[in-house]
Amino acid sequence: MKRTLFLLVAAIWSLNLFAQVPDGSGEIPHIAPHTKDVKIAFVTDAHLFHKGDNTEELMLPIIDEINASDCHFALLGGDNVSTGYDKHIRGAHKLFQKIQKPLFGVVGNHEVVRTDNGCTTHKELYGYDRRLVFRAGEYLFVGFEAGCYNRASSAIVRQEDLEWLEEQFKKARPNEKIICVAHVPLNWEIANHRDVTALMRKYNVKAQICGHAHTTLMLNVDSIPCAMGRRVNLLSKNWGLGYNIIELKNDSIYLYQRRMDQPNAKLFAVNKQGFSPELLKRKSNPLKIVPKTYAEAGAELFKDLRPAVYAGVLVRGGMAYVGHSNGTLYAFDTTTAEERWRHDMGDILCAEPVWHDGKVIYVSPTGRFTALDAATGKVVWSLQAKGAVVGDPVVADDMLYCSFGVGLFAKIKAATGEVVWTTRSGSLQMQCLPAVADGKVVVSTWENDVRCYDAKSGKQLWRWDSGNPRFDFAPGLIFPQIVGGRVYVSVNKQIVILELKSGKEIWRDEMFSYRKAMGRSSDGRNVYVQNREADIISLRTDLDCIGFKWRAATPKVSMDRNATLISVVNGVVYKGTKDGWVIAVRESDGVLLWEHAFSDATINTICGDEQGNVWIGSIDGKLFKIKA
């Protein structure tokens, strides 16, 4: 996440009511206790409410067919909606209530990326978050969170979920077969997929069921079969409207494709359940194992919290503050690595902590702001926002600027938590890192615009529309920079210069297909950006057009789209990538100093401390230190 992934889990019984599925602490429901074989209606990647699409209407005949079928239950494979917008999640919930079979499901990346609710709406509607367990026939189905969070990051299965998975696997009855359910196949994009598949092989898991790639396939997941379902509406690819049927029988997994314009479902693939060397012939695409060379950069592993740390790391006053996905904020001594204190925030931690006058301030996806004494961890003040908050706050001039709920932005006194003002910020959640300078606050949104507010009153001074209707490259998760009375933003793969006073567009450039990462030089005279090839570019700010001071090519890293701040420490420009690499460039002339692999997962923090040490964090819970 910055934020989290929650599993969409529920059961619809014959009365068409959703029932909460226990997480292992209570009795695991058994929906088909008197049958051996199991037949599943598998609906994945519906992408409901996609602009210009009518998939929600096209779903109705599919739902009618499922209701009339002999399937024991229906399973949603994730990506039920195209965006995480609250209204769309509620609309999908209303639609799937029409299914009269028991219904279970997992959440996909599209329910979480660009979410405007911090995934809190899923829990509200379905009464359950993140994990899934139920029985059907002689099978135990276990679902879990697997997919990228809100940044353009690598995906990871969290340590607490791995531990929970093993607990559930141990509960399998004699002769009961285990089936795993996750939106993403356990060989693509998931940085620690080998940890999951090793656990699956240890407990003889028979298969995985997944979606994500929009194609019906029988995959090889570390020599365990994985049945992948198709996207519901593939009219543009001549696949027609349809879904999948999965049968578990004869110690095999049968994968059918059901096209609604054809009379019957057709068998697509069949494979024996469980570990099978013959699967090596099938498509796998595991992530490559890259040797970690961070020691060659003078870095040492300071702490390993295990997956996952979605939030960035704050280092200040001899302490490192790390928010873990398990909901705990940790404080470590930066010299000894000793834990000084920890604070349970009661919710997954996704936003970066900030510092103000001896306090560490944090906000959870539920909108709870908490200021803690940096030395002791005691609560100084707390504040509840008017809705979910999934964006990072920033402190400037003793004030905290941050999202305050969907479509709201606030200025808060960092000393006391008193709200100075709130203002409208569009209709969607805000996730960018606000820029504050010259009495103005600049933000960018998923609505493809940039807005400027008066820092004193909160009045909107201007709004610049990019003119691009797609949200794929909207500036919703970037780092606007204010330099010399101008605003620099990355939008739609372009760099745009705006006049700070009026919002007037001065120049835009698309020469290098720019990506989300941005930063500023130590003297404030240059803006750093990244292109698609992961090259770091220094832009001059003394021109009325785009001017280049230098460009540092990165031969080892061929492509990157990590939304992260480009940092400068001790005259060196640092950039972390989606796949765990760190790039170091000399600030004065753009000479590439080194490229090293630190992790398999996304780098989300690079910062310096008062002693000149460099701190590097990744979402798989690793914190590195390069001594000054």
6 pLDDT higher than 60? no
* Spatial distance between the Cα atoms of 381 and 394, rounded to a whole number of angstroms: 17
What is d(CA 428, CA 117) in angstroms, rounded to the nearest whole number? Answer: 9
**What is the spatial distance between Cα 145 and Cα 147, in angstroms, rounded to a whole number?**
7
- Measure Cα distances from 10 to 18, 97, 472 in Å: 6, 10, 30
Q: Measured between alpha carbons, how far is 106 from 343 in angstroms, rounded to an integer?
A: 30
Q: Specify the CATH number for the domain of residue 89.
A: 3.60.21.10
Angle at 157 between CA 293 and CA 478, to 5 degrees: 70
Quick one: average pLDDT of 526-533? Answer: 94
Judge contact between 295 and 302, C-beta under 8 A: no
166: left (phi over 0), alpha (psi -120 to 50) or beta: alpha
pLDDT band for position 525 (cuts 50, 70, 90): very high
- Residue 86's H or E segment, with its range, is helix 86-96
Q: Which residues contact 302 (CB under 8 A, 6 or more apart)?
A: 320, 332, 334, 337, 615, 623, 624, 625
CA angle 18, 19, 24 (to 5 degrees): 145
Angle at 182 between CA 387 and CA 130, to 5 degrees: 30
Cα distances from 98 to residues 23, 126, 309, in angstroms, run: 25, 14, 38
Give me the mean pLDDT over the 345-364 stretch. Answer: 91
CA 590 to chain centroid, in Å, comes to 31
> According to the model, what pLDDT value does residue 516 have?
86
Per-residue pLDDT, averaged over 85-92, amounts to 86
Q: Which pair of structure tokens corresponds to residue 394?
A: 């920033």
Assigned domain for 51 exists: yes
| Confidence (pLDDT) at 118 | 60
Over range 483-502, report the average pLDDT. 94
Burial class (CB in 10 A: 0-12, 13-18, 19+), 459: exposed
Cα(331)–Cα(340) distance, integer angstroms: 6
Whether 136 contacts 38, CB under 8 Å: yes
DSSP string computed for 141-190:
EEE---S--SSS--B---HHHHHHHHHHHHTPPTTPEEEEE-SS-TTSSB
- State how beta strands 240-249 and 18-19 pair: unpaired
What six digits make up the tokens of 437? 């300078």
Please tell me the total number of residues recorded for the chain in this structure.
628
| Region 69-91 average pLDDT | 90
* Whole-prediction pTM: 0.91
Count of structural domains within the chain:
1
Q: Among 114, 80, 107, 115, which residue's Cα sits nearest to residue 94? A: 80
pLDDT value for 237: 64
What's the CA angle centered on 498, arms 496 and 500, to 5 degrees?
A: 150
Q: Report which DSSP code applies to 58.
A: H
Which of 551, 558, 464, 545 has the alpha carbon at shortest distance from 504? 464
- Token pair belonging to 600: 């398999």
Residue 168: CA count within 13 A, CB half-sphere: 31
Residue 235 tokens read as 């009219």
- Which of 427, 359, 358, 435 minimizes the C-alpha distance to 393? 435
CA distances to 48, 82, 109, 363 from 389, in Å: 24, 20, 18, 7
pLDDT of residue 437 exceeding 70: yes
Q: What is the H or E stretch that residue 196 is in?
A: helix 193-202
pLDDT of 96 > 60? The answer is yes
Running DSSP on this structure, what letter comes out for residue 44? Answer: B
Range 261-270 average pLDDT = 95
In a domain, 517, yes or no: no
Average pLDDT score over residue span 97-116: 83
Q: Which of 123-132, 394-403, 482-491 has the lowest mean pLDDT?
A: 123-132
Evaluate whether residue 565 is within a structural domain: no
Query: Which single residue is written with the structure tokens 């088909």?
Result: 32
Q: If you search the block for the tokens 């959870």, which residue do you land on?
A: 364
pLDDT (0 to 100) of residue 155: 86
Alpha-carbon torsion 587, 592, 598, 603, what sign? Answer: positive
- Could you tell me if residue 256 is inside a domain? yes
CB 534 within 8 A of CB 122: no
**Mean pLDDT on 420-433:** 89
Quick one: which H or E segment has residue 361? strand 359-363
pLDDT at residue 250, rounded to an integer? 95
Residue 619 forms part of a structural domain: no
pLDDT at 310: 87
pLDDT tens for 201-251 read: 999 999 999 999 999 999 999 999 999 999 998 766 667 899 999 999 999
DSSP one-letter code for 110: G
Strand 224-228 with 217-221, pairing: antiparallel
pLDDT above 90: residue 124: no
**Burial classification of residue 291, based on how many CB atoms lie within 10 Å of its CB (0-12 exposed, 13-18 middle, 19 or more buried):** exposed
Mean local confidence (pLDDT), 79-106: 89
Work out the end-to-end distance of the chain between its first and last CA atoms, rounded to an integer number of angstroms: 30
Whole-angstrom Cα Rg for the chain: 25
Residue 510, SS3?
coil
Interacting residues of 320 by C-beta distance below 8 A, sequence separation 6+: 302, 303, 313, 314, 331, 332, 334, 615, 623
Per-residue pLDDT, averaged over 517-525, amounts to: 94
The pLDDT value given to residue 120: 67
Asked, for residue 473, whether it belongs to a domain, the answer is no
Q: For every residue of 413-446, which 3-state class applies, written as one string?
A: ECCCCCEEEEEECCCCCCCCCCEEECCEEEEECC
Give the confidence band of 182 by pLDDT, cuts at 50, 70, 90: very high
Residue 170 in any domain: the answer is: yes
Determine the Cα–Cα distance for residues 293 and 156; give it in Å rounded to an integer. 21
pLDDT at 461 over 50: yes
Domain of residue 242, residue span = 11-281
pLDDT at 9: 29
**So what's the pLDDT on residue 436?**
97
CB contact at 8 A, 395 and 432: no
Per the model's pLDDT, the better-predicted residue between 279 and 328 turns out to be 328
Ranked by mean pLDDT, the top range of 108-112, 276-280, 353-357 is 353-357
Residue 25's alpha-carbon distances to 29, 104, 167, 299, 479, in angstroms, are 12, 18, 10, 42, 43
Which of 103-112, 130-139, 331-340 comes out lowest in average pLDDT? 103-112
The answer to whether residue 573 is domain-embedded is no
β-bridge partners, 229: none
